[in-house]
Structure 1
Amino acid sequence: MRPPGPCPDPYPTPLTWLYVPGDRPNAVAKALGCGADVVLVDLADAVAPYRKEYALRATAELLAEASPGPAPVHVRVNALDGPLAETEIRTLSALPGLAGLRLPKVHHPADIHRAAAWATAAPRPAPDRPAAPDRPYAAQLPYDPCTPHTAPLMAPPFMTPVTLTPTATPRAEAAVRPAGSAPAPTSLTPPPAPTPTPAPTATSAPAPTPAPAPTASAPPKRPDAPARVPHLYALLESALGIEHAFAIATAHPALRGIALGEADLRAELGLREEAGLAWPRSRAVVAARAAGLPPPPQSVYPDARDLDGLARSCADGRALGFLGRAAIHPRQLPVIEAAHRPCAQEIEAAEEIVRAATSDAGAVALSDGRFVDPAVVAGARRVLALAYRYR
């Protein structure tokens, strides 16, 4: 039975976010058809250091198409304070297939502004994708996004780290002119101080130097306007990030959501029990809602085989105000959806409340004598909107 009147969805946010390694193009292609609301291409933790450049090129090739697949594609870049994030953001931000950027290890609002500035800077074009580097171990990441498996889901220990330096492309050179045009006659660097002119003598006088003036027919050439900032999503993975949660959530209009990175946060805080994360989780939910953002999704559940544990964890997260969850394997998706979608009893109760509500009423009397106020009615409409979005 449909509720009377429209119930617009106030939280048009995904319930399922599926991570997939960025250096596995075939896995990414399969993940796009696995039913996740969003596919998260990971350039960070899931990619070994010596494959970072290959992962970026493969991801840029995928996002060169406006519609890379049935699900929107977000990309998690590397840490903003590391050597790779700027190149990744500038390379990907202008591509038509990118739906959002997930920013890891955000500690302060300034991190959001820095990422937004990189996103609007002149893009660094990605060269042709190189061949995939040979793997020194044969069974690294045996990950098939759409088939069950029993192999380890996490990458084996990395080999000796290889420091990758982004291609040195001066920002000024990339921004001065569009591709294919002649070099601009002026430089972006300040001009040198003028050479002093000798004092005029009685026999000669210096010819006046006319100041250049732009004409209406030939205006000075300017760089193309920067592209819009893509949707940004901040991951709070440190104690400092939790302390600045609300400031981060309100830092920039392009920021569309925040979430926790619980593995790093747990390690930094030295937590041994799940109960230690209750306050940071509540803090993230309150900060998001106070900033007018959707409820945050839960962090990943690391054991893809423990579906019962995942269901219990999702129920706990929903009780705290989370909506949806990130996943590391497609088998987790239906469990996450079932946990965060309203059950039949919730839908029935919400329909009764909405049916009894009127636009000009204050408290609403239900058939059993209970009274509910407008805030409860609004909550009931949210329940129905979510239920019918996934019906």
Structure 2
Amino acid sequence: MKEAPLTWLYAPGDRPSIVAKALLAGADAVIIDLEDAVGPDRKEYARSATAELLSEPPPLPVHVRVNALDGPLAEADLRAIAHLPGVFGLRLPKVTCPADVVRVAERSAPADGGAPVLHALIESAIGLEHAFAIATAHPALHGLSIGEADLRADLGVRDDAGLDWARARVVVAARAAGLAPPAQSVYPDIRDLDGLRASCAHGRTLGFLGRAAIHPRQLPAIEQAYLPTPQEIEHAEQIVKAATTEAGALALPDGTFVDKAVVEGARRVLDLAGRRG
């Protein structure tokens, strides 16, 4: 399974000063957005400003969300952005089929290697139906997640719980493809940190790992929600200790028996805890 960032921070590509602040805000990765966050009359400027910024490697991984693949702007985005030294990855919006991923992967691969990693956003019913095929479309694809606003509109879903089946399906598709667990979609109300925490807790129960943010103030809540608690770490340590000292069936001090899958899960908990020292 490929490790992915825990916190992602979006920044609009037509606001270089905001992007500069985002790079210092404490996220694991920054996403420069050329799509939804940029108005039609600012697309060209956003592209050129992003290309200038990423002409040199930034201090942390930067992904660029290009414009919709079925529109006229995506090709110009890829031509200007894909091969820059500061681009770690490309986020592909509104992916509907494996061919979308393959086309971008082939378009983005330079002759000498070093192509950016790709991340597909599932934002429609047809994309959801093809989730596993998309996840396995090309080795350059390292991540899968949901664009919930667009998917909600496409499905006609009003209640948040109506997206849970779609969320779970994308989690399963990513895991089956050997990808890291998906990060949650953005939480749009930057003032409602309690709601964000509750939403992250729910996402964690569905198998998500980490989340995209639209404001730096959301980052601590996301990190806290997704890092293991002291109790979870202690329990994982007990399981791993038992696995290294016993053969066959493993029994914890409380009498609980655990198997190989539980041990592997405990090791993942400790690995995740180690990501923040």
Does 2:68 correspond to 1:51? Answer: no
1:322 alignment partner, SS class: coil
Q: Distance in 2 between matches of 1:255 and 1:359?
A: 39
Alignment match of 2:224 (pick from 338, 346, 352): 338
CA RMSD for the aligned pairs?
A: 1.3
In structure 1, stretches of 5+ residues that fail to align are: 1-9, 122-224
Unaligned runs of 5+ in 2: none
- 1:257 aligns to 2:143 (yes or no): yes
Give the direction of change, closer, same or farther, for the CA distance of 1:360–1:344 in structure 2 (3 Å limit): closer
**Inter-partner Cα distance in structure 2 for 1:227 and 1:64:** 18
Q: CA deviation at 1:299?
A: 0.2
Q: What does 1:195-274 correspond to in 2, within 5 Å?
A: 225=111, 227-274=113-160
The one of 219, 244, 250 aligned to 1:364: 250
Partners in 1 of 2:129 and 2:230 — Cα distance? Answer: 38
Distance 1:372 1:11 in 2: 25
Structure with larger Rg: 1
Report the number of matched residues: 277
> Aligned partners of 1:389 and 1:58: how far apart in 2?
32
Cα deviation, residue 120, structure 1? 3.0
Give me the TM-score of the superposition, normalised by structure 1.
Answer: 0.69
Say yes or no: does 1:312 pair with 2:201.
no
Indicate the structure with greater helix content: 2
1:228 Cα deviation from its structure 2 partner: 3.9
Contact 2:174 2:180 in 1 (8 A): yes
- What does 1:81-92 align with in structure 2 at a 5 Å threshold? 81-92=70-81
| Alignment partner, residue 13 of structure 1 | 4
Q: Does 233-242 or 109-118 show the bigger shift?
A: 109-118
Supply the distance in 1 between the matched residues of 2:250 and 2:143 (Cα, whole angstroms).
Answer: 33
Which one of 20, 23, 30 corresponds to residue 32 of structure 1? 23
- What does residue 124 of structure 1 align with? none
Among candidates 21, 44, 62, match of residue 73 of structure 1? 62
The whole-number CA distance in structure 2 between the counterparts of 1:362 and 1:288 is 31
1:203-234 C-alpha deviation (Å, 9 max, x unpaired): xxxxxxxxxxxxxxxxxxxxxx3644310000
1:114 corresponds, among 77, 97, 103, to 103
Match of 2:236 among 350, 359, 363: 350
In 2, the alpha carbon distance for the partners of 1:388 and 1:344 equals 12
Q: Is the contact made by 1:260 and 1:299 (CA closer than 8 Å) also made in structure 2?
A: yes
The question of whether the paired residues in 1 share the 8 Å contact of 2:242 and 2:251 is answered with yes
Identity %: 69
Do 1:90 and 1:120's aligned partners in 2 also have CA atoms closer than 8 Å? no
Match of 1:60 in 2: 51
SS in structure 2 at match of 1:358: helix
SS at structure 1 position matched to 2:88:
strand
Q: Which has the higher contact order (CA 8 A, sep 6+)?
A: 1
Take 1:370 and 1:235, find their aligned partners in 2: how far apart are those partners? Answer: 40
- Tell me, in whole angstroms, the C-alpha distance in 2 between the residues paired with 1:378 and 1:234: 27
State the TM-score, normalizing by the size of structure 2: 0.97
